[in-house]
Amino acid sequence: MTGSPIPPPSYRVVVGRLRTMDPERPTAEAMAVRDDTIVAVGTRAEVLAACPEGTPVEDLGETCVLPGFIDTHLHLLRGGLKVIHDLGPGPHDADTVVASMRELGFEAEWGEEPPTLEQRVEGMRVFQPALHELGITAVIDPAATRDELAGYQECWRRDLLTLRVVAMPYVDVGQPEGSGVDDAIVRLENVGLGTGFGDDRLRVGGIKVYLDGEGMKSQALLRDPWPDTGEPGVQRIPTEAFQRLLDHCARSGWTVGVHAVGGLAVERLLECYAAADRVASIRGRQWQIIHGYLETAAASMRRAAELDVVMAAQPSIMLRNGAALAELLGPWAERMCALRSWLDAGVRVALGSDGPYFPFDPRELMWSAVTRRVRDREEPLDPAEAITVEEALAAYTREAAVAAFAEGRYGVLAPGLLADWVALDRDPLTIDPMELRDLRVLRTVVGGETVWSA
């Protein structure tokens, strides 16, 4: 019995101004792609020499080509449901989606009845193109419920995922007495898979746990009381129970990402991470601090670097809430979202949005991280915490891929990596940083396939 013939590999060459985000070769004239994978990067002549004669060449001229943007903190399915709830079945372009969320609020409202599986799938179908229009090629969903995991799996089964998705299962252990931890450990033991399971389109990430509360609700755990409540914030799970869960994850191979906003929460989190590391090494496993934007101490940052912990930061929270938090908390809060200090301490920083609850356009969030400018305030927050444009790009590409368990798979334009890229009308590294949010996305490509073009 003879099977269908295997088609020959498809080659093409892309010429432009490549910013590869590869420290070994940061710029290039061209890249060659075979099917879904980059096979050569270099000068035009070098790349053509690596391809069969007659390979088609697409010359993008002065267009800047970068790795696709990876949002390391976006509640994707909830965003999709919000889009179809607020705007209908679509299609809707990115400007319409973003304007709607600014007008109607970013909360992911749905209604009294829980959404069906089909509605979750429909939300994904409508929302993904708008994200591609912003240059996004991959997403980490940082708290996927059981129903949301089923939604992702169904989209994967139907071959509807045009984004790469890493789903972090949400483990609800937030009871004040910590009684949910033992149940959670049993569930993790019996699920039959763990962090890293999946493929390049849909992968299981680390579990998500909440240690403290939100900044705008005065629930982030600080060293000093909040001025409006007289309380230091909340710790949502007792330390002993929390440690039990982390130790189990360290032993069993699960990675963990923990919501910790306030400085005291981050300090306690890292104490627990260090204890778990003594049970079984967590280094190189992308254990995350999620948020960490209020009063984090230099000692905590150094400890995070020693433990090889990833800082998953969201400039969107500073962008939207920074003015109000600075007014409430006073001058020390000007250093919120201290990305410069995290990087200087040697911590790997990956950027994301916390969309749809916060703004999620990577161009605007990089603009805010670089300029320290926020909404509802004329003056920037403490400019000493600004990062460079190159650092912001790295945190949305190369470093974000690390957080997505995809280092060496995507996030960089280099031979052997997946051909995920975005074309911009200008080079972010040669324009005034104030113009970052005005960059135009001309094309977005995932695995060699164009998923959006202007």
Asked if residue 2 is part of any domain, the answer here is no
Q: Is residue 5 part of a domain?
A: no
Q: Report whether pLDDT(31) > 70.
A: yes
pLDDT higher than 90, residue 415: yes
| pLDDT at 261 > cutoff 80 | yes
Q: Are 146 and 289 contained in the same domain?
A: yes
- Whether 4 is covered by a domain: the verdict is no
Alpha-carbon gap, residue 122 to 80, rounded angstroms: 8
**Domain shared by 423 and 298, yes or no:** no
Same domain for 122 and 61: no
The mean per-residue pLDDT over the stretch 236-240 comes to 94
pLDDT tens, residue by residue, 136-182: 999 999 999 999 999 999 999 999 999 999 999 998 775 555 568 98
Domain end marker among 403, 428, 444: 403
Domain assignment of residue 447, given as a range: 11-68+416-453
pLDDT of residue 177: 55
Judgement on whether residues 80 and 63 belong to the same structural domain of the protein = no
Q: How many domains does the chain have?
A: 2
89 band by pLDDT with thresholds 50, 70 and 90 = confident
Same domain, 381 and 353: yes
Q: Based on the fold, state whether residues 437 and 351 are members of the same structural domain.
A: no
Q: Is residue 245 part of a domain?
A: yes
User: What is the reported pLDDT for 101?
Assistant: 84
pLDDT of residue 310: 98
Share of the chain above pLDDT 70, in %: 96
Domain termination residue (choose one: 366, 381, 403)? 403
Res 388: pLDDT: 98
Say yes or no to pLDDT of 6 above 90: no
Residue 181 lies in a domain: yes
CATH code (residue 43): 2.30.40.10
pTM for the model: 0.96
The verdict on residue 408 lying in a domain is no
What per-residue confidence (pLDDT) applies to 404?
Answer: 98
The CATH number that applies at residue 101 is: 3.20.20.140
Q: What is the pLDDT of residues 217-229, one digit of tens each?
A: 999 999 999 999 9
**Are 291 and 393 found together in one domain?**
yes
Instruction: With respect to residue 410, please indicate whether it lies within any of the assigned structural domains.
Output: no
Q: How many CB atoms lie within 10 A of CB 126?
A: 21
Q: Read off the pLDDT of residues 275-334 as tens digits, 9 standing for 90 and up.
A: 999 999 999 999 999 999 999 999 999 999 999 999 999 999 999 999 999 999 999 999
Whether residues 17 and 131 share a domain: the answer is no
409 in a structural domain: no
User: Are residue 31 and residue 56 in the same domain, yes or no?
Assistant: yes
Lowest mean pLDDT among 107-116, 228-237, 331-340: 107-116
Mean pLDDT of 110-125: 91
- Do 234 and 315 share a domain, yes or no? yes
Residue 106's pLDDT is what? 63
pLDDT of amino acid 179: 62
Q: Do 152 and 212 belong together in one domain? A: yes
Confidence of residue 1 (pLDDT cuts 50, 70, 90): very low
Same-domain pairing of 126 and 34: no
The pLDDT value recorded for residue 178 is 52
Q: Where is pLDDT greater, at 101 or 323?
A: 323
